[in-house]
Chains A and B, each alone.
Chain A
Amino acid sequence: MKITILADHINKGDSDISLAVRLKSLFETKGHNVLFHALNNENIHYCRGCFDCWVKTPGECVYKDNMEIICRDMINSSLLLMIASLKMGFTSEVLKKAQERMIPLLHPYMSVIDGEMHHSKRYDNYPLLAVVVKTEADTDDEDLLMIRKLFERFALNFMTELVVFATENEDAEMICEEICSYQPVKL
């Protein structure tokens, strides 16, 4: 399957030890096609909330930056894997910046989904979502539960589901296995 990985921080020195790089390599070993984005090295603007991507140039953001490539990669993937550091109890602003620039992938129109109003689909298919977080010294179970819930909400709004939520403390091979074992059921 095609997998898009968004990692919030990859530095040159991390190449051998970073979980994101290890997961990339594990997926490739299993024959998957991985599209990898180190968000901290990409040119991505903050969403300015103009909604031009819904009402002026539907499906396309006013900013012509690396999010165009990321949106194209993810909407043509079967899985979107987000790997991010927790900062002040939630995933980093680097990832959040990318998340909100994904709204061109949705339609402005509203639909009733699971008893709530949500934006409608623009595309027929959306990638499944997996999230792996790097915890802080003071991260507790309550934090992880809240973060997981917020990503479940994100998945609901992006017409998909959160199939794996893990921390970097878990074994990379197990995370990879868990993600891959979900594939035959849902993809």
Chain B
Amino acid sequence: MFNGSPRGKNSNTRLLLDHFIKGYLTVCESDFSMLYLRETDKDTEFVNAFRESEYVILAFPLYTDAMPAIVKRFIELLEPFKGRNDNPAMGFIIQSGFPESSQSRYLERYLIKLTHRLNAEYIGTVIRGGAEGIQMQPPSWTKKLFKSFYTLGISFANSDRFDPVIVKSLAGREKESSIHLFFKKFFADKGLSNFYWNYQLKKNKAMHMRDHQPFLKGN
């Protein structure tokens, strides 16, 4: 498993993968390794792990509408594996702070094409939005989410596939409904939907600087 979050061990990606692995290990005892792509001095280890694996799960947050640069860097390391017949099957997990799963779908298309480039079997892509605040949320809020990743791990261990029902349920809404959007816009316009960011700004005594424009000409 490759964790492609720039936050590494402190990431939301890790939190989700932990539950996936917990579920997986209830069925399979086969060995797996967790590699952190932010450790950019471990190229050889990454490439060897890819070469020696039967299955690869690449999990990461959506970063400026695509994969993080450290993930792209890893993908570029795989160029020598293009078109080989013995590449591992590949699955992907994309989590993002945006509520709509549709925002990650554009990248999903690239990932499918990547598996074609590598002549690798495509396991699937799990997309989960609204994941930015999960480390701060009380257990009652994240219970269902973590259970889904746990169950996904079990089903993967049993079938070598991502269960399409769980994948669909994790993706949630592709787009916000017009009623949801109306309320989100209303709350956003009134400044009431920024609780998470305001909490952090206040904690860091930076609330008064929140609209700072340091790079404007003359500043």
**Are the C-beta atoms of A99 and B64 separated by less than 8 Å?**
yes
Q: How many residues of B contact A (CB 8 A)?
A: 58
Find chain A residues with CB under 8 A from B65 CB: 150, 153-154, 157
Interface segment, A12-20, A29-37, A105-113, A169-177? A105-113
Query: Does A23 interact with chain B (Cβ within 8 Å)?
Result: no
Query: Does A103 interact with chain B (Cβ within 8 Å)?
Result: yes
Mostly, the A contact residues are mixed
**Are the C-beta atoms of A108 and B197 separated by less than 8 Å?**
yes
**Are the C-beta atoms of B69 and A46 separated by less than 8 Å?**
yes
Find chain B residues with CB under 8 A from A57 CB: 206, 209
Q: Which of A51, A76, A103, A115 contacts B216 (CB 8 A)?
A: A76
Interface segment, A82-90, A127-135, A179-187? A82-90
**Are the C-beta atoms of A89 and B114 separated by less than 8 Å?**
yes
Report if A54-B197 is in contact (Cβ < 8 Å); known contacts: A49-B7, A112-B181, A149-B106. Answer: yes
Find chain B residues with CB under 8 A from A9 CB: none
**Are the C-beta atoms of A116 and B98 separated by less than 8 Å?**
yes
Query: Does B19 interact with chain A (Cβ within 8 Å)?
Result: no
Report if A90-B7 is in contact (Cβ < 8 Å); known contacts: A55-B204, A58-B201, A103-B64. Answer: no
Residue of B nearest to A125 (CB): B216
Kindly provide the distance from the CB of A118 to the nearest chain B CB, expressed in whole angstroms: 8
**Are the C-beta atoms of A89 and B113 separated by less than 8 Å?**
yes
**Are the C-beta atoms of A115 and B68 separated by less than 8 Å?**
no
Report if A59-B215 is in contact (Cβ < 8 Å); known contacts: A46-B40, A110-B194. Answer: yes
Find chain B residues with CB under 8 A from A90 CB: 66, 72, 75, 110
Per-residue CB contact flags for chain A residues 61-91 toward chain B (1 = under 8 Å, else 0) read 0000000100110011000000000011110
Q: Which of B5, B75, B106 contacts A153 (CB 8 A)?
A: B106
**Best-surrounded residue of B61, B100, B210, B215 (most CB of chain A within 10 A):** B215
Q: Which of A51, A92, A104 contacts B72 (CB 8 A)?
A: A92
**Are the C-beta atoms of A115 and B181 separated by less than 8 Å?**
yes
**Are the C-beta atoms of A102 and B209 separated by less than 8 Å?**
no
Query: Does A97 interact with chain B (Cβ within 8 Å)?
Result: yes
**Are the C-beta atoms of B206 and A88 separated by less than 8 Å?**
no
**Are the C-beta atoms of B6 and A46 separated by less than 8 Å?**
yes
Query: Does B176 interact with chain A (Cβ within 8 Å)?
Result: yes
A-B pairs, top 4 by smallest CB distance, nearest first, are A55-B200, A49-B6, A97-B69, A93-B72
Besides the known contacts A55-B200, A102-B64, A108-B194, 9 further A-B residue pairs in the complex with CB atoms under 8 A apart: A47-B63, A87-B79, A89-B110, A107-B211, A110-B194, A115-B176, A117-B176, A117-B184, A154-B65
11 A-B residue pairs with CB within 8 Å: A55-B203, A55-B206, A56-B206, A58-B206, A59-B213, A76-B216, A109-B191, A122-B213, A146-B106, A149-B106, A154-B65
Q: Which residues of A contact B (CB under 8 A)?
A: 46-51, 54-60, 68, 71-72, 75-76, 87-90, 92-93, 96-97, 99-100, 102-105, 107-112, 115-118, 122-123, 138, 142-143, 146, 149-150, 153-154, 157
